[in-house]
Chains A and B, each alone.
Chain A
């Protein structure tokens, strides 16, 4: 038996897209190693039978469900530990995200398991799973093999695609979990606060993306003007650093804990191109990067790179585009 367990994150009545992708990935790989994909969900009354059984459509044969506070890692570690102790799943796959890292780290400690982060591909080989992860700024791929009773795989954001397999409802197994005293010590006071204005960047054809290189929130006006010059369906997007600094709204954030976009044009200014950002925009049709640091990683995956000062380039580019459009 080589079953694969997937923790499926949810918020309200919707499952997380990356978690659903992990379920689909687990189902495909489990079929190759003679096992099944099992899902695990933890939350309150919002986890109705109908919602939970619906994970069957993504390939889960069984869903383990327990009651607890959603949005914290430690209770999930206790839950998955209980499920694995009873059912002996050989692998655990996470769809990525902060909670994925936290739960996986805790589970690795609890069950003395090997762990691989940022996995972009999982393969079945001789009845076992091997995990491919990019390392050293994505310049190399390292292949992880596992020893022991449990192997943990944390997928990179958007690495696994959620696929409806057409299978029917999953069997629901309700589990009682004995939580460790420290597991509910953290108290979630508020979850998912949306800071700043509600803006739509996912539907835009042209995104002007701003990074820390702008230096101050006031300078973002240059990006607004450039987006305005493109006209039509264009918007300004931002990196996490810019959003955390309060220069731009959370709704405009690209990357790991923000949105994933694929516009016709992604014009990144003052963005170095960290992996956490790259995962949210690398499928864009055309990527233009403006950065004063010639060694910035973003030039490794941009179609047109401009090494220069955005303060000099953006205003002139705005004028030139306005002139071109007449």
Chain B
């Protein structure tokens, strides 16, 4: 068999941007510099390694995202890292979707593509719900596993390893499957200049909620069953002392004095 792989990706505020809540909407303020969610690059790398390897034939790698117009850049980045084409689900009706609604919407797009393997990163750098893969998998009625750090093709399926509550688990899972990969699975490569330049020429399909067959009553802020609000600062711990190491002998003296004061030596 030749695999069709879909990689779910997301655009997130750049790691260098101070993230905040927009008080008007109660959603994360996603203005400012944005980038492909760094955890997703591990999922793309995993797909590309399967394609380059000779364990199994890979037909194509499709990057899929849901988000506003700007999310196209995350798809371009995904393509520059090795995806063959991409799908952008975008619709005003989807704005404000919670994890459950987002997973449903993404599953509708994936249903139409019927991939053998859906890959995603372990978490998003902004929402951090850790659960969207499991939501998607249940809608697709496919077996699923998260935090996978080793993935091999064995006996026509996947042999997977991950660390869970009691140590390392090893599993065998058939296709089709939904797998979220941990950041220890690989070291994502940097895209070549040629790949970056060529990314915009690869096929990109834009889909509305209606195109994907999404019931708009089940998505968006009004279709979501969780409402977030009442944002407030947590009880803060008093900030600790910080030393910049300019002269290491002096720094070490300060650390030792600090430890000694607290009778820790």
Contact = CB atoms under 8 A, between A and B. Distances in A.
Nearest to B245: A308
Contact of B234 (A138, A244, A304): A138
B131 A257 contact: no
Given A115-B100, A264-B264, A308-B251, A108 B21 contact: no
Given A105-B134, A115-B99, A182-B141, A144 B253 contact: no
Interface in A88-132: 97-99, 101-110, 112-118
Contact of A195 (B167, B225, B239, B264): B167
Interface in B238-262: 239-245, 248-249, 251-253, 255-256, 258-260, 262
B256 A321 contact: yes
B111 interface: no
Contacts of A142: 21, 228-231
B72 interface: no
A176 B4 CA distance: 37
Contact of B255 (A145, A240, A300, A304): A304
Contacts of A144: 226-228
A141 B144 contact: no
Contacts of A98: 146-147, 162, 164-165
A141 B231 contact: yes
Given A108-B100, A109-B134, A113-B225, A74 B243 contact: no
Nearest to B260: A324
A265 interface: yes
Interface stretch (B48-56, B62-70, B85-93, B168-176): B168-176
A299 to B, nearest CB: 6
Given A104-B134, A147-B227, A305 B241 contact: yes
Contacts, number: 272
Contacts of B166: 11, 191-192
B107 to A, nearest CB: 8
Contact of A109 (B28, B100, B129, B251): B100
Contacts of A275: 128
Interface string B128-153: 11111111111101111111010000
A90 to B, nearest CB: 12
A114 B128 contact: no
A105 B99 contact: yes
A81 B99 CA distance: 19
Interface in A278-306: 286-288, 294, 299-306
Contacts of B167: 191-195, 250
A305 B243 contact: yes
Contacts of B197: none
B231 A257 contact: no
A228 interface: no
Summarize A's interface: helix, strand, loop or mixed: mixed
**Interface hub of B104, B166, B255 (most chain A Cβ within 10 A):** B166
* Size bracket, chain A contacts: 35 or more
Interface string B149-162: 10000000001001
A313 interface: yes
Contact of A139 (B165, B233, B240): B233
Contacts of B142: 182
A173 interface: no
A257 B165 contact: yes
A316 B134 CA distance: 48
A175 interface: no
B123 to A, nearest CB: 9
A114 B255 contact: no
A145 B224 CA distance: 11
B129 A115 contact: yes
Nearest to A264: B264
Give the top 4 A-B pairs by smallest Cβ distance, nearest first: A105-B134, A308-B245, A114-B225, A114-B226
30 contacts: A73-B144, A108-B99, A109-B107, A109-B135, A115-B100, A115-B226, A117-B131, A134-B234, A135-B28, A136-B28, A136-B126, A141-B230, A143-B228, A146-B227, A183-B143, A186-B145, A188-B171, A190-B168, A192-B166, A193-B170, A194-B168, A243-B163, A244-B163, A250-B168, A275-B128, A286-B264, A306-B242, A312-B248, A321-B259, A325-B265
